[in-house]
Amino acid sequence: MDSSRAGTPSPQPSRANGNINLGPSANPNARPTDFDFLKVIGKGSYGKVLLAKRKSDGMFYAVKVLQKKSILKKKEQNHIMAERSVLLKNVQHPFLVGLRYSFQTPEKLYFVLDYVNGGELFFHLQRERRFLEPRARFYAAEVASAIGYLHSLNVIYRDLKPENILLDCQGHVVLTDFGLCKEGVEPEETTSTFCGTPEPPFYSQDVSQMYENILYQPLQIPGGQTVAACDLLQGLLHKDQRQRLGSKSDFLEIKNHVFFSPINWDDLYHKRLTPPFNPNVAGPADLKHFDPEFTQEAVSKSIGCTPDTVAGSSGTSSAFLGFSYAPEDEAILDY
């Protein structure tokens, strides 16, 4: 199966009264008290990601809990709704995190996501400092497969960095955090939004200098890389977007690059290739690959509380119309 062609684009969300409306997707049965929230495993600008155990069946999930007030204060509700929309398309791809369902209270939004505990690629790279090329090639290929799939849906990701690349318990890549995704982008179309994380590989403490480096300084590649690896990096980071690797045939150009010649893409997509690193986790409660900065933080009791008022009574709920989602024709407790 060619992952760049897997699936078909979903209908685009409609907009009404300035709000994004993803259509009827009410999820009145789900609530925070359905879960035991065990540990903080990640943090972001608008909330936290927690390891949660569903009381009804003992299943483990990563639940992303976002504060509505923080989102509205920074006028980021469109990004949150776009993330929800993109997550619904991702369940068909092996290297993209899946959304199981979502719900809201008057104060908070809850994404119930696949739980993976092999650790962030950033965590492993920080610990080991450098990956050998075969390992880097494996991760890059799985990420490219995921990005190629998103492009086939006319979705661009726009925040690719080691912190957003997780490993599952076997060592396969799981791409997460779709808050900066943009939908409905045609192959020849470009965007003008300034977003993402600019640091590597043009880092400078002076932010304005860093931007100058990105625009004008030649790419400096450390020694010890193969010719194929250097050519791939130079192609992906070409200053002229028209000459950049992937600008003409997208994922097909990446697949055909000599750096990836050892990769059988069909085997890769179906996870028939053995990952070069096994996280060796003992089970869902094994958190050794999560930063202690997160896991040692106390879990707020308010996260697992269901307010007396319903979500529809909140003045902020109109900004998140259509956020709540339940799998079609399936009850939450039977999922």
Q: How many CB atoms lie within 10 A of CB 60?
A: 17
Question: What is the residue whose two structure tokens read 């925040």?
Answer: 159
Burial classification of residue 309, based on how many CB atoms lie within 10 Å of its CB (0-12 exposed, 13-18 middle, 19 or more buried): exposed
Q: Dump pLDDT digits (tens) for 38-67.
A: 999 988 778 899 999 999 999 999 999 999
Annotated binding site: 73
Q: What residue type is assigned to position 55 of the chain? A: K
Mean pLDDT of the chain: 85
DSSP category for residue 120:
B
Quick one: pLDDT at residue 122?
A: 92
Give residue 12's pLDDT: 38
In angstroms, the CA 54 to CA 255 distance is 40
Better pLDDT: 254 or 192? 254
What proportion of the chain, given as a percentage, has pLDDT over 70? 86
Q: Read off the pTM.
A: 0.84
Give the model confidence (pLDDT) of 3-24 as tens digits.
333 332 333 333 333 343 333 3
Residue scoring higher pLDDT (259 or 330): 259
Instruction: Kindly state the tokens that stand for 25.
Output: 């997707």
User: What mean pLDDT is predicted for residues 228-238?
Assistant: 96
In terms of CATH architecture, what is 14-117+282-320? 2-Layer Sandwich (3.30)
Which CATH number among 1.10.510.10, 3.40.50.360, 3.40.50.1970, 2.60.40.10 corresponds to the domain 124-269?
1.10.510.10
334 CB-near residues (< 8 Å, 6+ apart): none
> CA angle at residue 316 from 313 to 317, to 5 degrees?
60
- The residue ranges of every structural domain in the chain are 14-117+282-320, 124-269
Angle at 126 between CA 124 and CA 127, to 5 degrees: 65
For residue 114, name the pLDDT band (cuts at 50, 70, 90): very high
| pLDDT per residue as tens digits for the range 188-211 | 888 888 888 888 889 999 999 999
Look at residue 318 in the predicted model and tell me its pLDDT. 74
pLDDT bin (cut points 50, 70, 90) of residue 324 is: confident
Annotated binding site for ATP: 73
Over residues 19-38, mean pLDDT: 70
Share of the chain above pLDDT 90, in %: 59
CB 53 within 8 A of CB 59: yes
Cβ neighbourhood burial of 301 (10 Å; 0-12, 13-18, 19+): exposed
Q: Which of 32, 44, 42, 128 is nearest to 80 (CA)?
A: 44
Site of tokens 């990640």: 42
Q: Report the C-alpha gap between 202 and 159 in whole angstroms.
A: 16
Catalytic positions are 159
d(CA 299, CA 317): 25
pLDDT score of 85 more than 90: no
